Amino acid sequence: MGEPGDGGDRAAGPVDAAPAGGPRSTSAGPGRVVVAVYGVFALSAGARAGVQLATRIAEAPLAYSLSAFSAVVYLLAAVALGRGMRRLAWVTVSIELVGVLLIGTVSLALPQDFPDATVWSTYGAGYGFVPVVLPIVGLLWLWRTRARR
Amino acid sequence: MNETLVIIEAVAAAVLGLTTFVTAALGRRPGWVEVIGAGVLALGMLVQAIVAFVLMATSHDTTDGPTFVLYALASVLLLPVGVLWAAAEKTRWGNVVLGVAFLTLAVVVLRLDVVWGG
């Protein structure tokens, strides 16, 4: 059940052996890229939040705590997608989408509480808006790989 | 950090990244060019990080020590981890993973320079 344009470049293997109607692996094919990007964001948000909380927590405790929260969400999503834990993936990616939209809006409404950019500030503007596109991609991918009866 | 060197590194990473995306669009998986390119760049990152750490320890005052260290570690680990993650995917998507690693490295190198320069 390959995508159009895939041609013959996919060798049959364990990934394709899911029973007809079963869910496809979330970490194969394009999923590999999805997991990679989630991994990059988990590390980047985690490092940023770590430095912020360790050195300047008094400046903006709300923003930096949210920063840490986003890092945890990215990490869980990366692990869930990487290991095929579909329910956890659905939950974390949904939280991620709500998070970036909510925090993005709050950061615009209350800029004084967000002196230092966090991953979700201004809808991820500091990260090329990837943070707002990524959860949509994640949800689409989960939908694409779902079990079909 | 030497500005010219940083630009060369970022451009090299970006070019390699775009190359992998083109090869992926052509349906091919990572080949020797990409892997050797990754190896050369990764080695360069390692040397650069070691030099930077030595300089930091002995003299230079960066704007934000912890941030610099984390970016430097990221610059060293990105390509090796990227190659490993890409290697298990025997299709064109492995190439895309490598491309993501290369482009992320380009960004990391530029950020590294900004944090170093103050």
Tens digit of each residue's pLDDT (9 = 90 or more) over B19-43: 999 999 998 888 888 889 999 999 9
**Angle, helices A30-56/B65-87, rounded to nearest 10 degrees:** 160
The amino acid sitting at B98 is L
User: pLDDT (tens digit, 9 = 90+) per residue, B38-77?
Assistant: 999 999 999 999 988 888 888 766 556 788 888 899 999 9
**ipTM of predicted complex:** 0.86
Task: Flag if A36 and B101 touch (Cβ within 8 Å).
Answer: yes
Best to test chain A binding among B21, B71, B73, B89 (most A CBs inside 10 Å):
B89
Residue A112 makes CB contacts below 8 A (sequence gap 6+) with none
Is residue B32 within 8 A of residue B12, CB to CB? The reply is no
Q: Which two tokens stand for residue A70?
A: 């986003």
Task: Flag if B28 and A28 touch (Cβ within 8 Å).
Answer: no
Chain A CB contacts of B89 under 8 Å are 28-29, 32
Alpha-carbon distance B37 to B34, whole Å?
A: 5
